[in-house]
């Protein structure tokens, strides 16, 4: 159950590039305002699988109607939109209630009035689909004593994406993804790929997170394609990473 929220910024304003944390906080606040018990559960517990906690809510980057890039910040104005999704429709329903109650999005010291919440159209999931990423895809791996962020030129990048997707598949459907089903992930148009252009460094609560904003071609059963749309792809999806949007183009 995917929604697009639209806000409006009347005057040109200076904002930092990394806004994941204030958006994440806003979503938790809205859910808590509509349903305090649900908000507390999402913040403190979430879903559990193999000893780990998973927060079933994802969101895209902000899209600004007008944006002027600067070295350390951006000048923005006009309509501001972002999308939210979840494997649990109840979360989105409560979120919408809370967003209308709250009335505005707080970004640092700026308040953006809420103008519209749109329910996105239903996606027909196919065995082969192409996606654009509306936020960076993050694949962290612990190597000895350091944290390494895998990039799309490494095979580990795709193996970890598939591992994460299998976990979310269980959380959504309460069953394991059969080992023999086709499941492949590739770059869409690898000949156009530039590692430097795709790389995005995001600050989240004073931590630097490196991800890659790339289009992907995915072969998978339709019920797994649905999970990738609703749960995101890769790690840290509840912090605003790995948000996918289907494309009309299919062939890799």
Active site residues: 28, 43
* Phi and psi, residue 82, nearest 5°: -155, 160
Query: How many Å apart are CA 94 and CA 175, to the nearest integer?
Result: 26
């Amino acid at each position: 159950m995917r929604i697009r929220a639209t806000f409006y910024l009347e005057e040109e304003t200076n904002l930092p590039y990394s806004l994941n944390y204030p958006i994440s906080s806003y979503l938790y606040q809205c859910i808590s305002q509509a349903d305090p018990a649900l908000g507390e559960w999402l913040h403190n517990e979430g879903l559990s699988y193999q000893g780990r906690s998973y927060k079933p809510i994802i969101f895209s980057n902000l899209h600004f109607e007008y944006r002027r890039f600067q070295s350390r910040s951006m000048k923005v104005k006009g309509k501001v939109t972002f999308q939210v999704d979840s494997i649990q429709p109840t979360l989105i329903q409560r979120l919408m209630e809370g967003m209308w109650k709250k009335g505005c999005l707080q970004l640092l010291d700026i308040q953006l009035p809420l103008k519209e919440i749109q329910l996105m159209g239903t996606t027909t999931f196919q065995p082969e689909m192409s996606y654009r990423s509306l936020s960076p895809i993050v694949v962290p791996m612990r190597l000895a004593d350091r944290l390494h962020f895998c990039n799309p030129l490494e095979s580990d990048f795709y193996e970890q994406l598939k591992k994460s997707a299998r976990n979310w598949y269980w959380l959504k459907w309460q069953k394991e993804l059969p080992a023999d089903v086709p499941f492949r992930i590739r770059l869409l148009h690898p000949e156009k790929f530039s590692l430097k252009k795709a790389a995005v460094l995001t600050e989240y609560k004073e931590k630097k997170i490196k991800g890659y904003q790339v289009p992907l071609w995915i072969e998978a059963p339709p019920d797994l394609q649905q999970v990738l749309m609703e749960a995101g792809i890769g790690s840290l999806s509840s912090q605003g990473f790995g948000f996918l949007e289907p494309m009309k183009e299919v062939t890799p």
